[in-house]
Structure 1
């Protein structure tokens, strides 16, 4: 089944799928964000950012079924780095899709964009997420102590990175 997974560019028709994800508190807590986004806000954001050369946004699909959202944000051509972000629809979690999606995004970032480094921030308590990232080759870079406020409590984050050279060695 993992052979059928692919990333395709985010389209306006995908906003209904994103709206569902971006309004799910269980999903957005891992993005350190409030689960509050109207469809109108999402459409405005899409229209404003669709041609932004510093972002690449994808839908992870299995055949035509959307499984998740993957993005490269703040792409820096001079420094050749970008922030990696991912959401797997809770209905499809636990199937190994996050690892495959992360590899597909890394392949794109390092092969197509020729980036030197991908980085991300993950909640220290998100052991499953950290395991997926480490399996792909991300390494902890540093702790962000009490950096995020979620559900009435402060949480630590972990900055992680993956260098192009290390990724190709692992493949």
Structure 2
């Protein structure tokens, strides 16, 4: 998955070390996870390998790994919870995180047949809440005292977007162009029509004649 600023790629061995750095107690972890935890590289690897959450690394077009996005299947296949983080605060507000999230949404709706994508964002996270508002997701409710940070509890907003809503807002890029798909359909239908007239129908007539005798 490739956008104007970043692309998404599968995890590599070196990414576990980056993850442990990005989620250590810091402003990055506070905004991305709503909590402050210490986690070793081995613990991160074990959680990712054994857990139900899938991850992709966010990479700039010059090859720099700057963060990750995640998705987890909820109650039924086709319903997902999204998350993610850009690990370097100096890269915030440059569109990288927003584009990475949109690329992941394109992937889930357009290639994984998702029906619903859901978000849980702390109300202490200004950037993520503004992203939700800007992209016209439906606010489903408030989770009271959902996160504990800086010595106090914080509410979270739970929101979602459905498949038909998403396609009403945007048109994801096809992996195979529509014109190419249409062309091969037309060629196949043309072949089948000729095949029916020249081979199938004459054979059926001959079989009918034999039965009639």
Q: TM-score range by the shorter chain?
A: 0.7 to 0.9
Match for residue 42 of structure 1? 44
Length-normalised TM-score, structure 1: 0.87
- 3-state secondary structure, aligned to 2:81: strand
By how many angstroms is 1:95 displaced?
A: 0.4
Q: Bigger relative contact order, structure 1 or 2, given CA contacts below 8 A and separation 6+? A: 1
RMSD: 1.8
The question of whether the paired residues in 1 share the 8 Å contact of 2:19 and 2:41 is answered with no
Question: Per-residue CA shift, 1:49-94, capped at 9, x if unaligned?
Answer: 4xxxx53211111121112110001355x45201000101223111
The question of whether the paired residues in 2 share the 8 Å contact of 1:55 and 1:75 is answered with no
Distance 1:144 1:118, change over 3 A: same
Unaligned ranges ≥5, structure 2: 171-213
Unaligned ranges ≥5, structure 1: none
CA distance in 1, matches of 2:112, 2:136: 18
By how many angstroms is 1:36 displaced?
A: 1.1
By how many angstroms is 1:46 displaced?
A: 3.5
Moved over 6 A (4+): none
Match for residue 9 of structure 1? 10
Question: Per-residue CA shift, 1:83-131, capped at 9, x if unaligned?
Answer: 0001012231110112111110100110111111111111123222111
Which structure has the highest helix share of the two? Answer: 2
CA distance in 2, matches of 1:75, 1:143: 19
Aligned ranges 1:98-137 → 2 under 5 Å: 98-137=97-136
**1:88 pairs with one of 80, 86, 89:** 86
Aligned ranges 1:11-90 → 2 under 5 Å: 11-30=12-31, 31-49=33-51, 54-63=52-61, 64-76=63-75, 78-89=76-87, 90=89
Distance 1:110 1:68, change over 3 A: same
By how many angstroms is 1:8 displaced?
A: 0.7
Number of positions where the alignment pairs a residue of Structure 1 with one of Structure 2: 165
Which structure has the highest strand share of the two? Answer: 1
Length-normalised TM-score, structure 2: 0.71
Distance 1:91 1:24, change over 3 A: farther
